[in-house]
Amino acid sequence: DIQMTQFPSSLSASVGDRVIITCRASQSINTYLNWYQQKPGQAPKLLIYTASSLQRGVPSRFSGSGSGTDFTLTINSLQPEDFATYYCQQSYKDPRAFGQGTKVDIK
């Protein structure tokens, strides 16, 4: 099975900061990588699919990049509503595993 590793597991940031979260796959997944945001008490929300495509309605301060095994989610100019936990997920091969999550909280 493909393992997904995210880092860091948590970070503290301020409003206006640029935040970068990294996700690494245990083998090449081409660009079959998705990013989600989850706030407490809510279902996850798809932000980015196929590594760099922005889901409809997601603000353009979110961006994704990478291919093969290494991927990043960048949040430019962090906003108060962006404090949440972020997950990557591969959709290259079953089982379509998630990373362990990165919690972004207020510095």
Partner 1 sequence: EVQLEQSGAEVRKPGESLKISCKGSGYNFVNYWLAWVRQMPGKGLEYMGRLYPADSDTRYSPSFQDQVTFSVDKSITTAYLQWRSLKASDTAIYYCARPGALGGLDVWGQGTTVTVSS
Give the N- to C-terminal CA distance of the chain in Å, as an integer: 36
Residues between 18 and 47 with contacts to partner 1, criterion CB under 8 A: 32, 34, 36, 38, 43-46
**Among 65, 70, 104, which Cα is nearest to 87's?**
104
Asked if 95 interacts with partner 1 (CB under 8 A), we say yes
Torsion of CA 24, 33, 39, 5, to 10 degrees: -20
Report the nearest approach of partner 1 to the CB of residue 66 (Å): 15
Q: Which is nearer to partner 1, 14 or 60 (CB)?
A: 60
Report the nearest approach of partner 1 to the CB of residue 94 (Å): 5
* Neighbour count for residue 19 (Cβ, 10 Å): 19
* Neighbour count for residue 80 (Cβ, 10 Å): 7
Asked if 74 interacts with partner 1 (CB under 8 A), we say no
Binding region for partner 1 (CB under 8 A) = 1, 32, 34, 36, 38, 43-46, 48-50, 53, 55, 85, 87, 89, 91-92, 94-101
